[in-house]
């Protein structure tokens, strides 16, 4: 199956939202999703997303990201979420999507990319290590909801 990677458009938001809910269920934390498609549309200046689209036009995965600045390294891209539907994980869609985000970061003059991976997600950890990512098991995330 051919997979196309492209930047999302506002018309893609309903499909992205459905996949975001699937991803939250996969992560075993659906209750943490408080965003709505309407909010995603309202935040279109901040909402950056690439999608993986099958040759029949169906969106089968997404990667959301944003730019950050780290005092130790400079401009970076933070990969917030990357999700490929389970039926398409053997199609290299995830690799293509991640490499497209990496290329976007490089073309945007970022010094690095950063993202999280759940400690129980051994397949993802293996995949990320295979592309050269360094898995930091020291830092702990902090969220302060406003």
Task: Tell me if 12 sits within 8 A of 49, measured CB to CB.
Answer: yes
Other C-beta atoms closer than 10 Å to the C-beta of 9 total: 10
Task: Tell me if 81 sits within 8 A of 23, measured CB to CB.
Answer: yes
Q: How confident is the model at residue 89 (pLDDT cuts 50, 70, 90)?
A: confident
pLDDT value of position 44: 86
**Cα 84 to Cα 86: distance, rounded to the nearest angstrom:** 6
Pair type for strands 74-84 and 112-115: parallel
pLDDT value of position 137: 80
Residue 139 pLDDT exceeds 90: no
Q: Which of 32, 49, 31, 53 is closest to 40 using CA atoms?
A: 49
Q: How confident is the model at residue 83 (pLDDT cuts 50, 70, 90)?
A: very high
Supply the pTM of this predicted model.
Answer: 0.91
**Cα 126 to Cα 48: distance, rounded to the nearest angstrom:** 26
Higher pLDDT, 44 or 67: 67
| Predicted confidence (pLDDT) per residue in 5-47, tens digit | 999 999 999 999 999 999 999 999 999 999 999 999 999 889 9
CA 141 to chain centre: 17
Q: Is 72 helix (H, G, I), strand (E, B) or coil?
A: coil
Residue 60 pLDDT exceeds 80: yes
């Amino acid at each position: 199956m051919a997979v196309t990677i492209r930047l999302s458009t506002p018309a893609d938001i309903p499909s992205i939202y459905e996949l975001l809910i699937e991803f939250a269920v996969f992560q075993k934390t659906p209750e943490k999703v408080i965003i709505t498609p309407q909010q995603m549309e309202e935040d279109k200046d901040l909402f950056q997303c690439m999608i993986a689209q099958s040759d029949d036009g169906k969106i089968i995965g997404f990667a959301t990201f944003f730019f950050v600045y780290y005092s130790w390294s400079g401009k970076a891209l933070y990969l917030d979420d990357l999700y490929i539907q389970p039926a398409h994980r053997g199609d290299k869609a995830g690799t293509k999507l991640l490499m497209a985000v990496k290329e976007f970061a490089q073309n945007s003059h970022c010094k690095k990319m950063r993202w999280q991976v759940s400690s129980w997600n051994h397949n993802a950890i293996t995949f990320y290590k295979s592309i050269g990512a360094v898995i930091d098991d020291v830092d702990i995330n902090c969220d302060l909801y406003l």
